[in-house]
Amino acid sequence: MKLSQKTKVHELLATYPFLEDFLVCRSPKFSMLKNRMARATIGRLATLRAAAGIADLDLGTLLDELAAEIQRVTGARPEIEKPEAGSAPGRAERLSALKSIIQELHDGGDLEKARARFQEAVEDVEASEIAAMEEELIRGGLPVSEVQRLCDVHVGAFRHALDEHLQVDVPPGHPVHTYRADNRAISRLAEELGSLARAAAGGEAQALPKARSVLEQLAGIENHYQRKENQLFPLLERHGVTGPSQVMWGVHDQIRAALKTVRAAADKQDTNAFAEKAPALARDIAEMVYKEEKILFPLALQTLTDGEWAEVRRGEDELGYALEKPAADWPAHSPAPSPTPAPANAPELLPLKTGALSLEQLNLILTHLPVDLSFVDESDTVRFYSEGPARIFPRSPAVIGRKVQQCHPPKSVHIVQEILDAFRNGSKDVAEFWIPLGGKFIHIRYFAVRDADKKYRGCLEVSQDVTAIRTLQGEQRLLSWMKPSKPDA
């Protein structure tokens, strides 16, 4: 085969499998080729020019080295079609060109001129390069909100190149397969919403009732975004890829707010507001699908290991699926996630179901909870109570090791015993009480603690002063926590 800047990595390795080890030895950045999923997806899309850029190698030198290795192993040297001088900029030059184009757009430049400059500067932009550009713009001082505002604009400038990329192909059950199945449903609903907005503007009487049904189905987009935010973004950030996460999360919140507004207009039968707001919402949802398919998913497949994808899958199973469930059990035997190495001289961590904490961290958390906790084991012995500023009922270390029945006055012991018996025999899982106490309103709950086999392992008591909570009205959102809250009129 002839080697050129346009040769696909997948085609090269299919013809010369021994080059995989050669490339990994040439640059650690080629280690992604050992990732079965990246090999089957990114390898089919990436050219040798893009591969050279990813590894910060001179393209001409890489082509010569590949040809020499092929000749060493097979005895025949393939023909090389080298790029003309100056025709294949390195990754740094490409990033510089991309950032310059985006900065021009940020300063009010013309989109069509930016597209023309782009075509002259780079032939086929890679998802990783758009991500790196966003990272560098943010590190250079451009606020995340500004990069977010420019997101549609710069993707528009690069759309022609992105459109030429093949769709990633992953097996059923893989998280990206499920995301893409979600996106087919999301795209269909967004298109329906846009059509209904036009129908409402034209006076169709049934447009709003139909729209409410579509909007109810679109509520599943929240689960899709939460799976990205809580599963995919953290693992990308583990690899230092933070720009796309910050930008996309901001767009998620814009779409959430727009969904709320459009849903309210439909519920209130406000045809004008619905017809005005729904088209922009439909467009924003469709644009997010495009960015996921063309930028986020290829980038993630290039970055994450098989073990990390299995970690994503396990976490998504915990979060659940609102639009599409995984089409198969992938992988059949999920490898355990690799533990994050602890820094030198770090305290020993206690492995928990979700994460790990040092003993000091665990104690600090338990003493800062805004509730009282007490735990009684399956033999009715007090094993733990939390100590902190929110303590309501006094406790002392002497209570540890006592039978819980001995910690209550005789007149209430029979009630305590009834609760424990009901927990133990499985007829109840919760007992709940509330009382006024010293000018406060106290909420007390008892929870049966059971293991994975549903065996009773003890009782957790949670007590909380809810006096202030009972007076809350209106809303206080994260972004306004520094501002004084205004009471409802």
43-56: pLDDT as tens digits: 455 677 767 766 77
Indicate yes or no: pTM above 0.85: no
How far is the C-alpha of 242 from the C-alpha of 135, rounded, in Å? Answer: 7
Residue 230: count of CB within 10 angstroms of its CB: 14
Assigned domain for 330 exists? no
CA–centroid distance for 347 within its chain? 29
- 191 and 311 fall within a common domain: yes
In terms of domains, do 446 and 416 share one?
yes
418-427 per-residue burial string, b: 16 or more CB within 10 A, e: under 16 = ebbebbeeee
Segments forming the whole domain that contains residue 244:
175-319
- Relative to beta strand 456-465, strand 440-450 is antiparallel
* Contact between residue 104 and residue 114 where contact means Cβ atoms under 8 Å apart: yes
430-437, strands of its sheet edge to edge: 382-385, 372-377, 456-465, 440-450, 430-437
Q: What are phi and psi of 393, to 5 degrees?
A: -100, 130
Residue 401 lies in a domain: yes
Q: Domain for residue 414, yes or no?
A: yes
Residue the block writes with tokens 């997010």? 288
* Contact (CB, 8 A) for 13 and 20: yes
Is 336 among the domain residues? Answer: no
> Cα torsion for 54, 60, 61, 63, to the nearest 10°?
80
The domain boundary, picked from 34, 60, 81, lies at 81
- Given 19, 50, 81, which residue is the final one in a domain? 81
* Distance from chain centroid for Cα 152: 20
27 CB-near residues (< 8 Å, 6+ apart) = 55, 56, 57
* Residue at token pair 């050219």: 47
Q: Does residue 355 lie within any of the structural domains?
A: no
Give the range with max mean pLDDT: 179-183, 310-314, 343-347.
Answer: 179-183
Distance CA 358, CA 348 (A): 6
In a domain, 479, yes or no: no
Alpha-carbon span 443 to 433, nearest angstrom: 6
Least confident of 1-10, 69-78, 325-334: 325-334
Name residues whose C-beta falls within 8 Å of residue 123's C-beta, 6 or more positions apart in sequence: 49, 161
Q: How many angstroms separate the CA atoms of 441 and 439, rounded?
A: 7
Cα 435 to Cα 118, 223, 429, 444, 445: the distances in Å are 69, 38, 21, 8, 12
Q: 409 and 374 in one domain?
A: yes
> How many helical (H) and strand (E) elements, i.e. helices and strands, does the chain have?
20, 9
Is the backbone of residue 203 left (phi > 0), alpha (psi -120 to 50) or beta? left
Give domain status of residue 342, yes or no: no
d(Cα 40, Cα 116) in Å, to the nearest integer? 33
Give the residue, 271 or 34, on which the prediction is more confident: 271
187 belongs to a structural domain: yes
- Both 193 and 313 in one domain: the answer is yes
Could you give the 3-state DSSP secondary structure of residue 374? strand
Q: How much of the chain, in percent, has pLDDT values that exceed 70?
A: 74
- What is the tally of structural domains in the chain? 4
> Quick one: pLDDT band at residue 120, thresholds 50, 70, 90?
low
Reported as a pLDDT band with limits 50, 70 and 90, residue 148 is: low
Structure-token match 């459009």, residue found: 262
CA–CA distance, 70 with 17 (Å, rounded to integer)? 10
pLDDT in tens, 371-424: 999 999 999 999 999 887 767 887 777 778 888 887 777 778 889 999 999 999
**What is the per-residue pLDDT across 295-338, written as a single tens digit (0 to 9) for each?**
788 888 888 888 888 888 888 887 888 888 887 777 755 555 55
Distance in angstroms (rounded) separating the CA atoms of residues 182 and 175: 10
pLDDT for res 489: 40
Decide if pLDDT at 346 tops 90: no
Domain end (from 81, 109, 126): 81
pLDDT given for residue 448 in this prediction:
97
Q: Are 67 and 80 in contact (CB under 8 A)?
A: yes
